[in-house]
A and B are shown apart, each in its own frame.
Chain A
Amino acid sequence: MTSKSSAEVALIRINIARRKRWDLLFGLLGILALATGLLTIASLFVDMLIGGWERLHPDFFTNFPSRRAAQAGILSAWVGSVLVMIVTATVAVPLGVAAGIWLEEYAPKHWITDVIEINISNLAGVPSIIYGLLALGLFVYTFGLGQSVQTAGLTLALLILPVVIVATREAIRAIPQMIREAAYALGATQWQAVKDHIVPYSLPGILTGVILGLSRAIGETAPIITIGALTFIAFLPPPPIMEAAPYVNFDWLQAPFTVMPIQIFNWTSRPDSAFQQNAAAAGAILVAMTLTMNALAIWLRYRLRKNIKW
């Protein structure tokens, strides 16, 4: 434990140089690993764009599927996706937000709470095709909801329920306790505190979670196939708005339908390479939709968080 001679110091420096070479190597390895991800994304996009370029014209969006690849379009698919998303959001948002509120603001320390929480974690990990089996066995037949838009929307709602619940909980947790205390100290009941404070302040976070959930739901294929979405739908569901009374029509909920991912799957599975162009184009559109929703969610989170300064 004495001073080091200059020879010893030199040895130390060599030792360090040798070890730091590994540091450098690993740094390169890390960048390479990230580059692999980037390369995948890039080649995927480029492949889809190049493959589907010929089909990306406005008619593509307004044509029905057809036996002739050049004229086949995604009208029924994207309309179907939109309708299904409406049902999904309508079911998942109230249920998920309510569940999140209960878990964060009301749930007592009780084994029932634990059971519920464990269930939600589990459901998050259940493969999507199992949700399809649930829908097939329960919704399509036992409940008699048929192979329809409402079944698909309900199934996807259950699929993304854990996402909405988690997003709600995290958004609520970010609210400082003192805000709640201030509300209660002024005589608010629990529901008043929730309605007037908790929900409004957590809305940005909830919104972000909902959009992320929907962007996941819009790309889901397996459960929809299992329900029995037909893949050659050359018609649109009945429109929700009519000219005659009662002006609002809910028949579309029970109509057969198709969605974007199903259309892509169908076209990809055809051996005819012309249809693969359609698949590529539709795929590029679907990816664009998904990424736009993700970007929107992130932007919203950023924008709305800026206004809140706890």
Chain B
Amino acid sequence: MPSSQAVSSPRPVSDRLAKRASRHVKERIIEAILFASAAISVFVTLGIVYVLLKESMVFFSQVSIVDFLTDTQWTPLFDDAHFGIMVLLSGTAVSSFVALLVAIPLGTIIAIYLSEFATSHIREIAKPILEVLSGIPTVVFGFFALLFVTPILQWFLPELPGFSLLSAGIVMGIMIVPIISSISEDAMRAVPMALREGSYAMGATRLQTALRVVFPAAISGIAAAYILGIARAVGETMILAIAAGMQPNLVWNPMEPAATITSFIVQVALGDLPHGSVGYNTIFAAGLTLMLFTLVFNMFGFWLQRRYRERY
């Protein structure tokens, strides 16, 4: 029995197979590059968090968070500066509310109609309409809101000022309709035909089947649509920057001009922003607030979407 003989290192069988080692290394490098590209998304998120937090911390070292949350005035660039985020939040909330008042009914009706009623001819006309609507740049929508919709609204409501949350909100609502209708429609189409057959077999009409069986069955997907619509409304900038005026008023009446978190950031960015000034840091604090809200809405919406996809 051969005893403690040193085992020599295994020699490759041939040159051809020896290439395998370098091929392997090359594959690994490529995989690493591809992984790095995918991981960049994580770095983008981290970058956003870092930037928002870093500059906001400077802000909050100068302004107490209690004041930030409770002050009812927003005058950050004045000598007697006030930093009540509520003012901007009221503008965001009211405009989003108006937008959803338009978008949710329209979007839901369109979704139910396309999913349960429309023939393929109609669907073929509807799809491009919705795609075009979602492709129009928001700055153009803003122009439309200011110079077309507002005068028309003023015909019905003479006391409506030239800049208002109402006008901006309505146009924002129309912009959001494709989001709500497409996600809702997807959710309803995912409901299995067997459920519909069960309803029709009992003598139900199309509308009864749509409202009593399909809609409730798709409810988590439809809720996801609404929530993602809310997130979109809250984050919208240009329509509000152009048509809602940029006066930071704490208002709850849509027929008034007001600033939102987003239009405030634009307003400041348009002016001179010395790096490190109070104004500069304020937009990051405002941005942080916006980010928190949209993050919550989006996570909730995506979670709901995953749930309805698992169901069927």
Contact = CB atoms under 8 A, between A and B. Distances in A.
Q: Do A and B touch, yes or no (CB under 8 Å, in the complex)?
A: yes
A98 B270 CA distance: 36
A133 B265 contact: yes
Nearest to B24: A189
A11 interface: no
A37 B176 CA distance: 11
Interface string A33-57: 1101110110110011001000000
Main secondary structure of the interface of B (DSSP, over half): helix
Contacts of B140: 44, 48, 219, 264, 283, 286-287
Interface string B226-244: 0010011011111001100
A189 B26 CA distance: 10
Interface string A230-272: 0100000000000000000000000000000100110011000
B273 A99 contact: no
Contact of A27 (B117, B125, B232): B117
Given A127-B294, A133-B283, A134-B47, A99 B110 contact: no
Contact of A126 (B31, B228, B283, B291): B291
B14 to A, nearest CB: 16
Main secondary structure of the interface of A (DSSP, over half): helix
B284 A37 contact: no
B129 A37 contact: yes
Contacts of A22: 205, 207
A107 B38 contact: yes
A38 B269 contact: no
A200 interface: no
Contacts of A216: 135
Contact of A41 (B35, B55, B132, B270): B132
B118 interface: yes
Interface residues of A, number: 86
A119 B174 contact: no
A190 interface: yes
B130 interface: yes
A86 B230 CA distance: 33
A189 B21 CA distance: 13
Contacts of B232: 125
B174 A36 contact: yes
A115 B147 CA distance: 45
B110 A33 contact: yes
A287 B137 CA distance: 7
B307 interface: no
A265 B262 CA distance: 15
A225 interface: yes
Interface string B266-295: 100110010100000001100100110011
B270 A122 contact: no
Nearest to B130: A37
A128 interface: yes
B61 interface: no
B126 interface: yes
A134 B41 CA distance: 13
Interface string A97-119: 01101110011000000011001
Contacts of A26: 109, 112-113, 117, 207, 210
Interface string A158-174: 10011001000000000
A103 B37 CA distance: 10
Among B122, B144, B236, B302: residue with most chain A CB under 10 A: B144
A102 B35 CA distance: 6
Contacts of A218: 137
Contacts of B45: 119, 122-123
Given A34-B126, A125-B302, 17 more contacts: A30-B109, A30-B114, A33-B110, A99-B41, A106-B34, A115-B42, A122-B298, A125-B294, A129-B265, A130-B294, A137-B284, A219-B139, A222-B266, A226-B265, A228-B269, A276-B147, A286-B137
8 contacts: A19-B205, A98-B37, A106-B31, A119-B45, A129-B290, A131-B48, A215-B135, A279-B143
